[in-house]
Structure 1
Amino acid sequence: MPESTSLISDTKKRALLTNPLIFSTLVACMGSIQYGYHIAELNAPQQSIMCPTVTMEGYEETYLGSHGYAQCITLTDQQYGAITAMFSVGGLVGSFFGGRLANRYGRKFTSFITCTLGLVGSCVLFASNNYAGLLIGRIIVGVACGVQIVVTPLYINEITPAVWRGAMGSMNQLSINLGILLTQSLAIKLANELYWRWLLLVGAAIAAINFVCWIQIYESPKWLLRHTNKLDKAENALSYLRSTTYQEVKNEINDWKKEFRHAEIESGTNVRPLTFWQYVRGASHKKPRDAITAILMGQQFCGINSIIFYGVKIISRLLPEYAIFANFGVSIINVVVTFLASLIVDQYGRKPLLLTSTIIMSAASFFISISIINLKSVSLIISIFVYISAFAIGLGPIPFLIIGELSTAEESATAQSYGTVCNWLATFVIGYGFPLVNNLMGGYVYMLFAAFAISFAYYIYERVPETKSKTNYTDIWADY
């Protein structure tokens, strides 16, 4: 098995963090940047995309530009909510098939496919002149991002030494937040009646760059060994990633072989990949499956995407002139705190950070509610900043990282796919349902998020094991 973090010197640990490993991780994380970008791309420009609800003579001349693209699109709030939520529908489909595609065709080739889909979907969004076009574009980019958010943490987990897995795995969420920040940064200049389409087209540029970068790096050596049985290719890929001797590369590959055999003995299966439905129904997967379901759905039901999707609209009720800038500040805090979390996740562990995160989010949600109800703008901004910071330190980076750690090697890709599907389902519920519930309850909706977060913290305390410094499935679940 991989070496324990407690048995490796700091010098050896630093030596394992090679430039090829960092570059490969950054390339994989560009998929997460696309995911984050598309999550937030409809937040700031909502008022510019939607035509004013008036009718007048000469409507087409007023709202159609000479280039043939509508300057705005006639949409209701419910339709805009559906367009926002369709990203989650596409994402759910992509994540459902993501693990299977990654197992069959490899992490690298699957990423080529998703980058192509992301490019096409962004172009469809850019060219859309009606409700249907926006729906189709959002579904396409959703499918692409659904696969990417499965492949990215899976690839990082497989190429990274155990001692760096927490820090490097956190780069996935950091990249999502960078994508959100990029959207909000560009929105300051582009979220207006003239340029909102260009904001949607940037996603195509990111996908194209990511496609080119994937050409420069190797396939996951662990996938090569397990699914193609080509030892020489696996050794070459691992040698590229490590600054170690050939014998040390051989030793790590032998550790993987032992891990594969151990997983086969425990599960009673051969090396054929576990299907999605086998994982859902299998009694032997119940403990990790239950924890993954709770963590990945709980991340969303704490309400984070009510801010990511609709933050500008929420803030604009109290601070209409500064809503976009406040949302930009939220994105900066999200990135900074997530980066800090990546530095401490291997020191303090996953479970303590998850508990800290959810408890603080519960308190912050309560104060967001109070601030909205009592029209306290300063208190609202402070509460949102605390809420986002709390999310970024634990509940943001850890869920996608911990899926692979809670699972055996045999089920990791399928578990990643399953957990991401759960996350998309919850994201759809928040994306589509929040505007409806918010219209009915107003600021009190954040009381619901506060109650859920504190209940979720109790579940984590009772049912989720710590994975820090543990290198195999048996050790992780020994006391549960």
Structure 2
Amino acid sequence: MSQDATTPRVAEQPNTSAVLRISIIAAFGGFLFGYDSAVINGAVAAIDAEFDAGSVALGVLVASALLGAAAGAFFGGRVADILGRVPVMKIAAVLFLVSAIGCGVVDTYGWLLFWRIVGGVGVGVASVIAPAYIAEVAPASIRGRLGSLQQMGIVLGIFIALAVDAWLAALAGGAAEELWLGLEAWRWMFMAEAVPAIAYLVGTFTIPESPRYLVEDGRPDEAQAVLANLQGSASAAERVRLIKESLRIEHKPRLSDLRGRTAGLKPIVWVGIGLAALQQFVGINVIFYYSTVLWQSVGFTEADSFTVTVITAIVNVAVTIVAIALVEKVGRRRLLLVGSAGMTLSLATLAVLFATADVVDGAPALGPTAGPLALVAANLFVVFFGVSWGPMMWVLLGEMFPNRIRGAALAVAGFVQWIANWVVTVTFPALADFSLGLAYGLYAFFALISLVFTVKMVRETTGIELEDMQD
């Protein structure tokens, strides 16, 4: 809905510290998302040895959390429309907590698979609730930066998970070695997640409900009070009026609302689906789920592989900070374009290096020149992803859809994102066994597709109010 020219909006006077505080707490779900997704990286080889899993079962286990995430993403938005955003964050925190403990004490492959899926549901819920909540409480002038906190939480979670994995493995003398209370180090890698899960749960009791949900729930005075604290009393009443107006012409979001006149769905929904799928099809999570065993397979020691993986995670955090600094100045679309171009080149370099490497004992062996080049290319890939598609996909999904279809569109896009993640994750072990050059060649191809897609389909959303987003 566009603002009438005769009723200009009151200028924002955001309470930056208050908005930042509650956005950080919401984005802590992203931290757990990143931790839960990456923690298995350091445990993969030990789990394989513990349960004699094999490449197929191992791929299924690593990807199992993603199936739970797909379900959590699909239903999380609907549940949040019923219960509210904050109660659903609390549910996600509890799921993270029980999954962390469950994964650490299991004695069969089947139970490990089950608890990974439970944690995955929490990941999926957090992946859609945090961006939506932040978009609904943040002033338009800083919404992009605050929305990027979701990705910052994710990359910090990845970094901490990998750092904890490396630390525990070093203490025990290996991930499969006994550490404390008769339990192997890989089990403590999972159980360590209980600490941030409890912190997230406690934090959710200190943040206000989304103003949009409060208005929809018949509590406009509470919504105005929240907005007055976050964006200034001068603009709070106007924002509540705009929310009421948008809700007046809307109804509860349904999947049927996403239908378009052609191609089955509205064009904006296809754009969201494309963003969600392409973010995963470039293969970013191969780096964070499998990098330890990947580098070992091409000649690095276990200790060196852990070190390289942690360094990559640090790079990921650093470039996400750069993205947050640039998002409002450069814009979402330009960052996507730069990122797509850089990812295409760096992934193509990895594809060539692995495809032309000598094969020793059935695996490519990178020499003294190709090894460092592969490390540089892999980290450049992370740089270009982290400054663009990593945070910008979450920012865009949180703000690009019109209010009347946002909940349903986020559910679909979130579901697609996790299914795409699952496809890449479960297929990588088999692809790697066949040819790492082919695997990275496919990811390079999708990076090129992401460049074309952004040029043709993605619109800029910088500075536009949520109530003004159009189909």
Q: Same fold (TM over 0.5)?
A: yes
> Which position in structure 1 is the counterpart of 2:291?
311
Structure 2: 5+ residue runs without aligned partners? 170-174, 179-184, 358-365
Counterparts of 1:3 and 1:40, CA distance in 2: 47
> Where do 1:194-273 residues align within 5 Å?
194=178, 195-226=185-216, 228-242=217-231, 244-245=232-233, 247-261=234-248, 264=249, 270-271=250-251, 273=252
Deviation at 1:473, TM superposition (A): 7.2
Pairing 1:12-411 to 2, within 5 Å after superposition? 16-51=14-49, 72-191=50-169, 192=175, 193-194=177-178, 195-226=185-216, 228-242=217-231, 244-245=232-233, 247-261=234-248, 264=249, 270-271=250-251, 273-275=252-254, 277-283=255-261, 286-316=266-296, 317-320=298-301, 321-373=303-355, 374=357, 375=366, 376-411=370-405
- Deviation, 1:2, is 8.3
**Which residue identity lines up with residue 150 of structure 2 in the other structure?**
N
Shift of 1:205: 2.0
CA separation in 2, counterparts of 1:240 and 1:471? 19
Matches of 1:308 and 1:120, distance apart in 2: 23
Query: Aligned partner of 2:400: which letter?
Result: L
| Whole-angstrom CA distance in 2 between matches of 1:199 and 1:466 | 41
Q: Residue by residue, what CA displacement relative to the aligned partner does 1:213-249 show, whole Å, maximum 9, x if unpaired? A: 11111111111012x111121122223323x23x432
Report deviation, 1:17: 4.4
Structure 2 residue aligned with 1:457: 451
Please report how far the alpha carbon of residue 260 of structure 1 lies from its aligned counterpart in structure 2 after TM superposition: 3.2
Match of 1:422 in 2: 416
Q: Structure 1: how far apart are the matches of 2:59 and 2:52?
A: 13
Q: Distance in 2 between matches of 1:3 and 1:180?
A: 45
Q: CA deviation at 1:314?
A: 1.7
Q: Say if 1:79 and 1:131, in contact at 8 Å, map to a contact too.
A: no
CA distance in 1, matches of 2:3, 2:65: 38
Tell me how far 1:343 sits from its aligned partner: 0.9
Distance 1:99 1:148 in 2: 10
Matched AA of 2:376:
I
Alpha carbons of structure 1 residues 470 and 3: separation in structure 2 relative to 1, 3 Å? farther
1:235–1:249 Cα contact (<8 Å) kept: yes
Q: Distance in 2 between matches of 1:302 and 1:75?
A: 27
Local SS of the residue matching 2:266: helix
Shift of 1:283: 4.2
Q: TM-score scaled to structure 1, two decimals?
A: 0.87
Letter of the 1:297 partner, please give it.
A
Q: Aligned in 2, Cα 1:475/1:281: closer, same or farther, shift over 3 Å?
A: closer
Going from structure 1 to structure 2, the CA distance change for 1:341 and 1:442 (only over 3 Å counts) comes to same
CA deviations on 1:1-40 (whole Å, 9 max, x unpaired) are 7899xx999xx87x51422211111111111111100111
Distance in 2 (CA, whole Å) between partners of 1:223 and 1:393 is 31
Could you tell me which runs of 5 or more consecutive residues in structure 1 were left unpaired when the two chains were aligned. Answer: 52-71, 265-269
2:435 to 426, 438, 441: 441
Q: CA deviation at 1:79?
A: 1.4
Q: Which amino acid aligns with 2:282?
A: C
Task: Give the direction of change, closer, same or farther, for the CA distance of 1:41–1:472 in structure 2 (3 Å limit).
Answer: closer
SS in 1 for 2:196: helix
Residue deviations 1:177-198 (CA, integer Å, cap 9, x gap): 0000011111111132222211
Q: Which is worse superposed, 361-370 or 283-292?
A: 283-292
- Match for 2:375: what amino acid? I
In the TM superposition, residue 318 of structure 1 has moved relative to its aligned partner by 3.1
Distance 1:473 1:252, change over 3 A: closer
1:416 Cα deviation (Å)?
1.5
1:219 is paired with a residue whose SS is coil
Q: Secondary structure at the match of 1:43?
A: helix
Aligned to 1:65: none
Q: Is the Cα–Cα contact under 8 Å of residues 312 and 327 in structure 1 kept in the other structure? A: yes
| AA at the equivalent of 1:405 | E
RMSD of aligned alpha carbons: 2.2
Deviation at residue 474 of structure 1 after TM alignment = 6.5
Task: Give me the whole-angstrom Cα distance separating, in 2, the residues matched to 1:448 and 1:304.
Answer: 12
